[in-house]
Structure 1
Amino acid sequence: MWRWGRGRRGRPPKNRMIWGPIQYVTFVPFDSRGLPFPGEPIYLLPDEYEALRLVYLEGLTQDDAAAKMNISRGTLWRSLDSGRRKVIQALVEKRPIIITRG
């Protein structure tokens, strides 16, 4: 019987190119009285943040953004998908967003 994935750590992660230093940033939604909404924060990783920035703010194609981050287009797509889901979840559920350093 084959033992796939047992006893090994797997492929080492590849370094991603992130523009500038990512600082610890928090976005908190407030109600009409100026009080923050309670809720568990959602953590956005630096590669998700950078993928969202390059594609949606800078207007790069996924191929160009992936080349700039030194990752494959599939990896960029997964980062975009994860980042979009987290941002939408935070907006709909009125939860804080925390951009971490990784």
Structure 2
Amino acid sequence: MPRPMKWRKVCCLPERNRFGPLDANTDEENYLRMTVDEYETIRLIDLEGFTQEECAKQMNVARTTVQGIYVEARKKLAESLVNGKVLMIEGGEYRLCDGSGNGCGRGCYRYRRGYFEDNKV
């Protein structure tokens, strides 16, 4: 019996979940689906500058798990850019953090956004 899936901790959902060419056909073969946890690895590693190990700690999974998620996410980004496909971000095995910053660390976008909005920074 396989181990149960470990939920990946995600700090925020994307503000927009559809990206791609403006003139894209709307048929199903022109869509790619990226999971929310794949999006989170791209955000943490490429945008926030985390290492894979730091990202794994933030998401509460093993580094090897993050590595696999990250590889798949980058393939999907590349396919969207190179082949002009629409990228939809939805689904996946994740749980949203509570936004309080408890155990979230420096990469918690929800916590940081709330702090900046509350303090008008």
TM-score, length of structure 1 as denominator length: 0.79
Counterpart selection for 1:29 from 21, 24, 31: 21
Give 1:25 shift: 1.0
Counterpart selection for 2:11 from 19, 39, 43: 19
Counterpart selection for 1:53 from 40, 43, 47: 43
Deviates more, 1:88-97 or 1:15-24: 15-24
Q: Which residue of 2 aligns with 1:33?
A: none
Q: Which residue of 2 aligns with 1:71?
A: 61
Gaps of 5+ in 2: 93-121
Distance in 2 of aligned mates of 1:86 and 1:80:
10
Gaps of 5+ in 1: 1-7, 31-35
Query: Which has a greater percent of helix?
Result: 2
Distance in 2 of aligned mates of 1:22 and 1:12:
26
Counterpart selection for 1:88 from 59, 78, 89: 78
Query: Which has a greater percent of strand?
Result: 2
Give 1:37 shift: 2.3
Aligned residues: 89
TM-score, length of structure 2 as denominator length: 0.68
Q: Alpha carbon RMSD of aligned pairs, Å?
A: 1.6
User: Which structure has the greater CA radius of gyration?
Assistant: 1
| Percent sequence identity over aligned pairs | 31
